[in-house]
Amino acid sequence: MTKVGALRGLMKVMGYACAAIGLYHLLLGNAAIPGATSAGPTVDSLGRFFGAIFAGYGVAWLWAARQSPVPVAAVRWLAGLMLLGGLGRILSIAADGWPHWFQLVLGVVELVLPPLFFWLAHPAAAPHRPAEA
């Protein structure tokens, strides 16, 4: 498999996973958060809103995966947002302590995958296009 093929495949997996997770949170609200107890209607509303946003984030990954050539700038932005989310989890641990173990697993994924995306989306990974005359 080529570097571009691996990038597209990983982008599709990311897109489908994020879209599914987002829809899950949109539909279930607080019940979708491992280890969480009912936090009331305000947090439920916030969680469902962010679920919709996360589903849209997944759709953005799928859109980018279907472009030819792969839009390197879009991949970097999407990976950067994921990395920012992982850094947010570290900030949360520092401010409020350790979350449910599953949130830690997600944090590791959010900190490990972006460098992989940055590497795979290096401009050299894009197929060379001859300059137009």
Nearest to 102 by CA among 8, 1, 33: 33
Q: Which residue has the tokens 């932005």?
A: 77
Mean pLDDT of the chain: 91
pLDDT at 127 over 80: no
Residue 25 tokens read as 């949170």
End-to-end CA distance of the chain: 32
Q: Tell me what pLDDT residue 115 has.
A: 97
Beta-carbon neighbour count of residue 51 at 10 Å? 20
- Rounded Cα distance between 35 and 10, Å, is 28
pTM above 0.75, yes or no: yes
